[in-house]
Amino acid sequence: MKLRKKYLRNIAVGVPILAMLATGCSNNATNTASPAPSLTPTSTAESNEVAYPRQISQWVSGTDYNDIAAFKELEKITGTKVSFQHPPAGQAKDQFNLMIASGELPDIIEYNWTLAPKGADSLIQEKRIIRLNELIDKHAPNLTKVLDDNPAFRKMITTDEGNIYVMPFLLGDESLSATFGPIVREDWLQKLKLKAPTTVAEWETMLTAFRDGDPNGNDKKDEIPLLFNMDDIDLGHFIVGAWGIASTFYQDNGTVKYGPIQPEFKEFLATMARWYKEGLIDPDYITTDAKLKDAKVTNDQLGAFLGYPGGSIGRYIDLMSEKNAQFSLKGTEYPSLNEGGTALGQYSYPFSGIGAAISTSAKNPEQIVKWLDYKYGKEGHLLFNFGIEGESYTMVGDYPTYTDVILHNPDGLSVSEAMAKYFIASWSGPIVQSKYYLEQYYLKQQQRDANKNWSKADHSKQLPPLTLTADESSKTSAIMNDVKTYRDEMINKFIAGVEPLENFDKFVSTIEKMRIDEAIAANQAALERYNSRK
């Protein structure tokens, strides 16, 4: 895997501030787990030239951060009072756009900046947010150390014009990058004497057995072999990735391509249409929402789907523990065309555009940078990945170990709910996420095995976090809104047999007439700029 090897080469391991951050890491590029970034802070002399801010405002999605133990503790340590502003659930994007347009800005804006209507360089030019390079160099020794030790990180968070615009959310280990994939009923495999599938052909054999073999044992042919939706295919390249293409943009040896107009996409559609016709795909896959999906799993009907180790594997096993003691799930490798091959799969770069920017409204940006930098040092890393020592975690040797307050909460909270009361590692924020959070979040062996299997996919064709110019972004957004709507409609028609595959060339021609070439060219230019960054 070219990307994985390159990623490992780019992560240099310095002398870690926590021995845990080097434990089990290898400099061998063939190792499946990349070394965690060094978090050794430099001298804080420069940082101490300014005080922490007394009061700041911060816009961020979520519920009241003032209730999170880590932020309460941070206020005690720094003396900084934060006024958090949270957009209503489901309205973050609209609220962000309105806020940026109005110019009425809080001191800190934490967001997935890939969703912004304009690129960071444009927002800096328009005086909405500020360039952070010099402030980080002078007042953020902890983040500076992380970036110096990991040049790939610095490249990712720097725009094409050389601006660093956020204190970033960074994944501290490659195991954190592959957290989504295909999941099958392991107990059904065992009952039907099948091995876990690794190829598209083996998937077809398995799904057929799920349809015909009565694996739920109720003497009814009510099993639903496979359920998916377009988001699953876009995120995980499920099945389509077996042909070495994606359902969206991807790169092939430095050339940006759009998957749906490739000849191989027709082969993918033919496979899915055949599966649908043969009853291997849920006939209601288009209209099945998360609630209905839950019902199909817990009613002992669904054989295979896509999901996450926590929200799917762990949650469903717990939900079914009393109803069906044999219920078990397995996260399988992304299927390839041939035995021993490697398909594309879900992958997140260490930086995906999430971070905390400082607005031009901030009166004390140097103090804010110092305050944010605390999270990248030893104490801050522990605080925001593990919570309060002696309460939510204890140190066992050099390993921060969650207590029963997190893993077996006395108030009946799930692990994710308990984590959310103490720290932010289970979602995002301006921190380096620790792999030791994930190792303990995955309490079940099935979850850990899934993470390993999904990590085997080919990630070399994944596009890095690109920065489009304002003109490119505006043009591409308009084009892709229309293209995606048409693509989704036609894919569903092809799969359901409403549209004959003989019309695939017409499908491609229509997308080309919608100016997909301009969107490809914009992404190609952005990729070339990214690759030329120092």
Domain 38-176+352-387+423-433 has CATH 3.40.190.10: yes
The residue ranges of every structural domain in the chain are: 38-176+352-387+423-433, 179-346+445-534
Instruction: Give me the mean pLDDT over the 482-502 stretch.
Output: 98
- 354-391 pLDDT, tens digit each: 999 999 999 999 999 999 999 999 999 999 999 999 99
Task: Please give the full DSSP string across 248-262, using - where no structure is assigned.
Answer: SEEEETTEEEEGGGS
Per-residue pLDDT, 290: 95
One-letter amino acid for residue 54 of the chain: R
| pLDDT class of 527 with cuts at 50, 70, 90 | very high
Phi, psi of 129 (to 5 degrees): -130, 170
**Pair of tokens at residue 429:** 């924020």
Alpha-helical regions (H) of 158-289: 186-191, 200-212, 230-236, 263-277
If you average pLDDT over every residue of the chain, what do you get?
Answer: 91
Does residue 445 surpass a pLDDT of 60? yes
Question: Is residue 45 scored above 90 in pLDDT?
Answer: no
- Is residue 22 pLDDT above 50, yes or no? no
What is the arithmetic mean of pLDDT over 318-326? 95
- The residue with tokens 């799917």 is 312
Task: Note the pLDDT of residue 49.
Answer: 67
Token pair 């009565």: residue = 214
CATH topology assigned to domain 179-346+445-534: D-Maltodextrin-Binding Protein; domain 2 (3.40.190)
Under 8 Å between Cβ of 145 and 4: no
Please report the pLDDT score of residue 492 as a whole number.
98
CA 411 to CA 366: how far, in whole Å?
Answer: 41
pLDDT of residue 6: 36
- The reported pLDDT for the residue numbered 467 is 86
List all residues 6 or more positions away from 243 whose beta carbon is below 8 Å from its beta carbon: 262, 264, 265, 267, 268, 337
Global pTM value: 0.86
Residue 397 Rama label (left phi>0; alpha psi -120 to 50; beta):
left
- The answer on pLDDT for 250 being more than 50 is yes
Q: Please report, for residues 53, 240, 338, 339, 500, the alpha-carbon distance to residue 202 in angstroms, rounded to integers and kept in the order given.
A: 59, 15, 10, 10, 26
Q: Which pLDDT score, from 0 to 100, does residue 115 have?
A: 87
Rounded to the nearest 10 degrees, the angle between the axes of helix 365-373 and helix 141-149 is: 60
**In terms of pLDDT, which residue wins out, 9 or 334?**
334
Q: What is the pLDDT of residues 389-444, one digit of tens each?
A: 999 999 999 999 999 999 999 999 989 899 999 999 999 999 999 999 999 999 89
User: Do 38-176+352-387+423-433 and 179-346+445-534 fold alike per CATH?
Assistant: yes
Average pLDDT, stretch 165-181? 96
Determine contact, residues 195/377, Cβ cutoff 8 Å.
Answer: no
Per the rule left: phi > 0, alpha: psi between -120 and 50, beta: everything else, 120 is alpha
Q: How confident is the model at residue 31 (pLDDT cuts 50, 70, 90)?
A: very low
* Residue listed under structure tokens 């009061």: 55
Average pLDDT over residues 127-150: 97
Return the percentage of the chain with pLDDT > 70, whole number. 91
